[in-house]
Amino acid sequence: MADTPYSSTELLACVAARLLEDRKSVFVGTGLPMIAAMLAQRTHAPGLLIIFEAGGIGPQIPVLPISVGDSRTFHRAVAASSMHDVMSISQAGYLDYGFLGAAQIDPHGNINTTVIGEHDHPTVRLPGSGGANDVGSFCHRTVIIMRQDRRKFAAQLDFLTTPGHLDGPGARERAGLPANTGPHRVITQLGVYGFDDATMTMRLLAVHPGVTVEEVRANSSFPIPAAEPLAVSAAPTVEEQRILREIDPTGLLIKR
């Protein structure tokens, strides 16, 4: 049974948390990925190994940290390590899941976080890769969380920062990346997307409550086929909402 009302942030956190499995590892960035990982760890995945870019490995986080370098990301951790070690863990193939954001994403799950417009004379210059290319290249499964509109769901990227499935089946392997890796799910304010095994292009797996397929397609500049049957995301439960407010007691992301 769901509490009402719930915010879009609560819904996205719950949808993302439910993807994470017990006794797996996850590379976590600032914000919503932190909340999702903490929620998963406090519900169905107590053995989830959370890894932060700044070096916290396996913490039991008391409340939501402000950033990946916050001292709370090392609370009761297995190791207080370094960014170098975390990226080495990724390159060695020990990261099951990685969370990424994006300014643009294309049908194959390739990501742009570098520029909007021409590279040398951009309309907007973005933060760049950071660790995103490492995560997108070497994590077994990446989960992209982003806002969706026609500009962000782009038929062609202005710049390829982080590889998704590149130009289709087998492309990652031909580029020298590990087999059976890459984008797994895309979560937006409208729904949840996966990738077709035959074409490695995005398809709609679930809409959020109250969202239509027409609305999803109107907010994409490339065609998005829908799975049959099409699922509807489960709303946050009363217990999930209670835990979310426990995780974020000051309302940093989960607004009161």
Counts of helices then strands in the chain (DSSP H, E): 7, 14
Q: Is 53 a catalytic residue?
A: yes
What's the CA gap between 166 and 186, in Å, rounded?
Answer: 16
Q: To which residue do tokens 């500049």 refer? A: 221
Find residue 175's DSSP bridge partners: none
One-letter amino acid for residue 134 of the chain:
D
Q: To which residue do tokens 């709303």 refer? A: 235
What's the CA gap between 56 and 28, in Å, rounded?
Answer: 10
The catalytically annotated residue of 53, 215, 228, 246 is 53
Name the DSSP letter for residue 2. B
DSSP annotation string for 24-51 = -EEEE-TTHHHHHHHHHHHTT-TT-EEE
- In order of 38, 63, 98, 147, the CA distances from 42 in angstroms are 6, 12, 19, 26
Q: What angle do CA 10, 13, 14 make, to 5 degrees?
A: 85
Could you tell me if 1 and 237 are in contact, meaning their C-beta atoms sit under 8 angstroms apart? yes
DSSP annotation string for 106-149 = -TT--EE-SEEE-SSSEEEE----TTHHHHHHHSSEEEEE----
What are the catalytic residues?
53
